[in-house]
Amino acid sequence: MEGSKAHMPLNLRRLSTSLIAGSLLSLALLLVLSCARPQVQDLSTLRLQQVGFHKASYDTDGKLLPWTSWEDAIAREMAWYLNCPLGTNAYPVFVYATFMDEHYRPTKTEIIPATQNGMGILSYLKYWEYNGRSNPKILLWARKMGDYLVRESLTKDVGPYPRFTRSTGHHTNFPIKASSQGDEKFGPDVIEPDKGGLAGYALFKLFQATGDERYLQQALHNAECLARNMRKGDARHSPWPFRVDSVSGRSWGRRSGNMAFNLRLFDELIAAGHPEFQVPRTALWTWIKAYQIPSADPRSTSLWIQFFEDQTAEDNRTSWAPLELARYLIEKKEPLDPDWKADAERLIQFALKHFSAAGPGGVTTVGEQDVDRQPWGGACSKLGGVTALFYAAGGGEKYREIAYRNLTWMIYHIDKDGCPTERTGNSISLRGGWQEDCHTDVIHNFMDALQAVPEWRGAGTLVTLPTVSPGALPAHSFLAK
């Protein structure tokens, strides 16, 4: 996912974007842990006066309460992004800038198009549906993300992965001409197959919402590339390597943890009348069930290895991939996996065991990966979204508590004007930053939680979202028709 500075202490890839803001909370917690560890074992008993951008509120038991309703906080954030100015080729700046500051200005050229815009499409579609499809600008912004994927983010039309969605690049090139971050260490044409599955699935959902065949065709093409290049998986190898040179076919990384979106893509296309994907789909699910879900926890044997685009360590476990598979198991239940409940809980517990931390006010946060355990927005909110779904599916009260406090913590990191921060936990928060952690991989987690647990919905939003008239939509837009 992020900044090409692998193997640096404390993962300087992202610290470089936030050191300027300082971290008073982090310093305080370090002092507590280093000077008084025997006396302070549970940070959840702390009551900070401020969390993120806001004065903290607590109940009588010391548990963190929202500073405003979740719906209002998310509406503020959505309004801030719907006001994002158009930049190159009429894309909103955040669509092509992974690093963007509070003034909508790019701060670095590196971009992670598949993750950033794939998850962004899913977030915007869920928000559009949640609000009754009432604001066409929400769908228009989702289309801008889809257009960037199909127009600007494809590999060369040669090799085993021709015109496949890129995982990384530089936004100074339209279209992208070469890889960036961890990928570029292996070559300019290197891609990550799992990101093509993620982008393909998002584009298929966008096709369903708009009727635009371009999105369907790219989703089909990505799936065909994946099916053609699939290999037999086992306890040491996933069905696709983590990285591949799209032109030569050379690969790196025996284990790739994010298989949920390849599975989702195959399932959606099969349901839409494409039985040619049934064989690879069956092989993929067989591997997930037989090898990935029960894989042992140690880094040497875990199959939850590698997801983030900037990292190159081949034993780097993540919370991202198991939580996304847990989400899919909870959504589909028995038709996908007769053991869905036990398997989903195993995956949630894996993330909690290896990456969670007790925060002030009874909050549970979660870090991304072995090499970076800080609570970045995308990974941290993913815990809240998935545990809310699991609670609603009968997982138990403890998951309700985890989800509610986690997502309440998250809204403290949205400023009053809607500008969010990338990393939670700082008493002085940097506005802006990594866009998938600020925004695109966050919104869908709130939407899932609010749909799953209706009593968490507020009394309505307090802000008016920017909109567009139907005449401002593209001529081929489903809504314009």
In a domain, 473, yes or no: no
What is the pLDDT, as a whole number, of residue 240?
98
- Residue 98: pLDDT over 90: yes
List, for residues 309-358, the tens digit of each pLDDT value. Answer: 999 999 999 999 999 999 999 999 999 999 999 999 999 999 999 999 99
In a domain, 467, yes or no: no
Calpha distance 442→385 (Å, rounded)? 9
In a domain, 443, yes or no: yes
Mean pLDDT of 127-139: 97
CATH number (domain holding residue 143): 1.50.10.10
Task: Report percent pLDDT > 70 for the chain.
Answer: 86
CB 310 within 8 A of CB 182: yes
In a domain, 421, yes or no: yes
Cα-based angle 266, 167, 152 (whole degrees, multiple of 5): 95
Calpha distance 241→255 (Å, rounded)? 6
Strand locations in 42-103 (E): 50-51, 54-55, 57-58, 64-65, 99-101
Mean pLDDT of 247-265: 98
- Residue 12: pLDDT over 80: no
What is the pLDDT, as a whole number, of residue 141?
98
| Structural domains counted in the chain | 1
Calpha distance 351→399 (Å, rounded)? 13
The DSSP element (H or E) to which 163 belongs, if any, is none
- Residue 474: pLDDT over 50: no
- Residue 410: pLDDT over 80: yes
- What is the CA 277 to chain-centroid distance, rounded? 25
- Domain range for 107: 25-34+42-457
Tokens read off for 380: 């941290």
**CA of 352: how far to CAs of 368, 381, 390, in Å?**
11, 13, 14
The DSSP element (H or E) to which 433 belongs, if any, is strand 432-434
User: How confident is the prediction for the chain on average, in pLDDT?
Assistant: 89
List, for residues 280-299, the tens digit of each pLDDT value. Answer: 999 999 999 999 999 999 99
Mean pLDDT of 115-142: 98
What is the pLDDT, as a whole number, of residue 103?
98
- 427 pLDDT band (50/70/90 cuts)? low
In a domain, 1, yes or no: no
- Residue 473: pLDDT over 70: no
List, for residues 171-220, the tens digit of each pLDDT value. Answer: 999 999 999 999 999 999 999 999 999 999 999 999 999 999 999 999 99
**CA of 70: how far to CAs of 60, 139, 443, 452, in Å?**
20, 21, 11, 14
What is the pLDDT, as a whole number, of residue 356?
97
In a domain, 471, yes or no: no
In a domain, 201, yes or no: yes
In a domain, 2, yes or no: no
Strand locations in 184-291 (E): 190-191, 243-245, 251-252
- Only one residue has tokens 């507020």, namely 458
